[in-house]
Amino acid sequence: MFRPGALKRLLRRKAGGAGGKKAGGGIAAPDDDKLRLRMVESQIAARGVRDPRVLAAMRKVPRHLFVPPGQESRAYDDEPLPIGAGQTISQPYIVAFMTEVLDLRAEDRVLEVGTGSGYQTAVLAEIVRKVFSVEVIEELSRRASRTLERLGYRNIVFRTGDGARGWIEEAPFDAILVAAAPAAVPPALRDQLAVGGRMIIPVGSGAQELVLVRRTERGTEEACVLSVRFVPLI
């Protein structure tokens, strides 16, 4: 969660120049706030996301700070955006939908596979006790950790490595969110779910489906919940 005052300090550093414009020609912070609230109402709540904790996190996390320079004006559009290295920051609705489907609790420990920009990481960190985030591309992991540290998050741990292997030293997890698509659910991730745990993961090498995996005392159950398009899990 944000350390008090950290976001305001970062936004002040991002702002500058005549007319309240941010360095680099982006939109002023007050306009970003309005665009973010409009995004939540028109793209997320209007499409059926109801969890008040998810909506509050989406209203709070400044997506424009997680996109590459020059893309800030598109940060609150209903679309994914490239972040480099062939990866993307997910569409806001998909971030909210995946988070809500996990039915998170405040005391949960969550594994995120595919840190990417760190935006989804921040949304998770607003809701749960601790997030363990794995990213295979070292530069993306470093960039995301710097952004999240500046924003004051202290309940996130980062690792660079193969996300399909999970994070065995910290398992089991109450929830797992995978932000890239393997051809099938990796067995290691299935095994690292606690009993009662939930995993949301895009699956498929062509057509893709978001699959919700639940672990019970008898094994795991799966259900397809939404057709999607994600970058491949590498």
Residues 106 and 155 sit within 8 Å (Cβ to Cβ): no
Q: Tell me the per-residue pLDDT of 122-135, one tens digit each, with 9 for 90 and over.
A: 999 999 999 999 99
Q: What number is the average pLDDT over the span 70-75? A: 94
C-beta of residue 29 within 8 angstroms of C-beta of residue 103: no
**6-228 is a CATH 3.40.50.620 domain:** no
Cα separation, 31 vs 145, in Å, equals 26
Residue numbers annotated as active site: 90
CA–CA separation, 80 vs 231, rounded Å? 11
- In degrees rounded to 5, what are phi and psi of residue 140? -65, -40
Of the listed ranges 8-22, 83-97, 197-211, the one predicted with least confidence: 8-22
Q: How confident is the model at residue 29 (pLDDT cuts 50, 70, 90)?
A: low
For residue 20, pLDDT beyond 60:
no
DSSP letter assigned to residue 40: I
65 vs 33: CA distance, rounded Å: 12
The pTM (predicted TM-score) of the whole model is 0.87
Which residue in 97, 100, 90, 155 sits closest to 122, CA to CA? 155
Residue 160: both structure tokens together: 């660079």
